[in-house]
Amino acid sequence: MPAAARHLLLPLPLPSPPRRPPLASTRPPARAPAPTRRLAAARRDAPSPPPPSRPAPADALDCVGTGADVECFVDLDAEPLLLSRSPGAEASEGKGKENNGESEVSPAALADGSQLWDWASLVSPFFFWGTAMVAMKGVIPRTGPFFVAALRLLPAGAMLVAFAAARGRKQPSGWAAWLAVAAFGLVDAACFQGFLAEGLQKTSAGLGSVIIDSQPLTVAVLASLLFGESIGAIGVGGLVLGVVGLLLLELPALSVEGNDTTIWGSGEWWMFLSAQSMAVGTIMVRWVSKYSDPIMATGWHMIIGGLPLLVISALNHDPALNGHLQDLTWSDLLALGYTSIFGSAVSYGVYFYNATRGSVTTLSSLTFLTPMFASIFGYLYLGESFSPVQIGGALLTLVAIYMVNYKSIVGEK
């Protein structure tokens, strides 16, 4: 082939494939005016709103059992166990199930059932605590006071330690931790339950429950002296009213031996000592929680406090440990089991469950239910009753408890 022909062929382009018409318009989209573009950019750059707050998770809120009550505090650094679901997701899922024919219960029925369960869950710890005192009162004559006190602590403490271990909670470590738990157990468990059982022999369950529930009055004084906490003018008025109420509860019940009036023969006095033990135990919670896991400390303090009570029961020749255990009826055994399991372990567990759902303030305002249940069931099963003066003292004491807690209850709502 001539060189000139080769030079003519090289610049020729290769044939391109035929172009097809576009399926859709290739017109570029119209640009938004400048203000609109700036607004869109601002929206993109703006920080997203924070997610809605959720209730404290179970591991973020720790509770310590004190006597016949529970003290709770929140650990804000703890991670939640389960992420909470948004209401919109739950609603859409519910609509999907209804559309697919999977839901046969009306939303109103579900709401009523949920509200009933929540109400029962909130009230049940106070029901268990109040009725446990009635069960203790009924079985003490056939078992002995210190045997019942020890049995209320030891099985419940073992159950709580096992529960805490299953949840991966740490055991107390070091002499400082065990010293704190042991001191807490002697004051809040041994003294509280021992005084309570001794007082139940000489007073009614309802009246004793009112006196024990007066411990927030002592806690307010101790917290003010030790931690500088203020309860306000209404709280101070509640303290004064509480002293008057306690005097009306206890003075008419002092036993008279000849011409001498002895305070140690009064069941109300022993209940008052029990309330003071519980108040000191409540103040000790902050100290104990610095060295030990709260739930684990609660279980171990029940075990440590129950052991000396069992020794005292043997030395006191309580009937249950003096050859009369076989004389107990099935009713007595049920009362002992109810006192230990429901009056201690289950009531604490339910209280903790409610507290993790953000109901601490509601729970603190329901403490009056414990003496109410104790009085009602004490009247029904044991024929107990209050004198007119004691009724007045009980009402004044309950109002005083609310006044002392008024600042914290209103402040947290």
pTM tops 0.75, yes or no: no
Number of other CB atoms surrounding residue 303 within 10 Å: 19
Contact 384, 206 (CB under 8 A): yes
Distance in angstroms (rounded) separating the CA atoms of residues 337 and 335: 5
Residue 277, phi then psi, degrees to nearest 5: -65, -40
- Over pLDDT 90: what percentage of the chain? 27
Q: 69-74 and 61-66: which strand pairing?
A: antiparallel
Please provide the size of the chain in residues.
413
Stretch 391-400: mean pLDDT: 87
Contact 126, 370 (CB under 8 A): yes
pLDDT band with cut points at 50, 70 and 90 for residue 67: low
Q: What is the DSSP string of 49-61?
A: PPPPP-PPPTTTE
Over 80: is that where the pLDDT of 2 sits? no
Residue 306 burial by Cβ neighbours in a 10 Å radius (0-12, 13-18, 19+) = buried
Stretch 181-186: mean pLDDT: 94
pLDDT of residue 70: 59
> Which of 13-17, 61-65, 381-385 is predicted most confidently?
381-385
Q: Is 65 helix (H, G, I), strand (E, B) or coil?
A: strand
Instruction: Pick the more confident residue, 178 or 71.
Output: 178
> Which of 101-105, 173-177, 211-215, 261-265 is predicted most confidently?
173-177
Cβ neighbours of residue 37 closer than 8 Å, sequence gap 6 or more: 31
pLDDT of residue 368: 73
Structure tokens belonging to residue 15: 């044939």
Q: Is 70 helix (H, G, I), strand (E, B) or coil?
A: strand
Stretch 94-122: mean pLDDT: 62
Over 80: is that where the pLDDT of 27 sits? no
The residues facing 260 across adjacent strands are: 257
pLDDT of residue 404: 79
Picking from 9-18, 33-42, 79-88, which range would have the lowest pLDDT averaged per residue? 79-88
pLDDT of residue 80: 38
pLDDT of residue 101: 45
The residues facing 70 across adjacent strands are: 65
Picking from 73-77, 82-86, 97-101, 259-263, which range would have the lowest pLDDT averaged per residue? 82-86
Picking from 23-32, 210-219, 286-295, which range would have the lowest pLDDT averaged per residue? 23-32
Structure tokens belonging to residue 248: 């009306």
Stretch 76-102: mean pLDDT: 42
pLDDT of residue 107: 64
CA 34 to chain centre: 58
Instruction: Pick the more confident residue, 2 or 319.
Output: 319
pLDDT of residue 311: 95
Stretch 77-89: mean pLDDT: 39
pLDDT of residue 69: 59
Stretch 401-412: mean pLDDT: 71
pLDDT of residue 351: 77
Residue 260, phi then psi, degrees to nearest 5: -105, 140
Over 60: is that where the pLDDT of 347 sits? yes
User: pLDDT digit string (tens) for 306-316?
Assistant: 999 999 999 99
Distance in angstroms (rounded) separating the CA atoms of residues 288 and 167: 20
pLDDT band with cut points at 50, 70 and 90 for residue 1: very low
pLDDT of residue 63: 62
pLDDT band with cut points at 50, 70 and 90 for residue 65: low
CA 103 to chain centre: 34
Q: 255-257 and 260-262: which strand pairing?
A: antiparallel
Over 90: is that where the pLDDT of 301 sits? yes
Rounded mean pLDDT of the chain? 75
Element (H, E) at 66: strand 61-66
Instruction: Pick the more confident residue, 262 or 278.
Output: 278
pLDDT band with cut points at 50, 70 and 90 for residue 156: very high
Q: List, in sequence order, every beta strand (DSSP E) within 233-390.
A: 255-257, 260-262
pLDDT band with cut points at 50, 70 and 90 for residue 137: very high
CA count, 13 A, side-chain hemisphere, 407: 13
Q: List, in sequence order, every beta strand (DSSP E) within 103-214.
A: none
> Which of 35-44, 182-191, 246-255 is predicted most confidently?
182-191
pLDDT band with cut points at 50, 70 and 90 for residue 236: confident
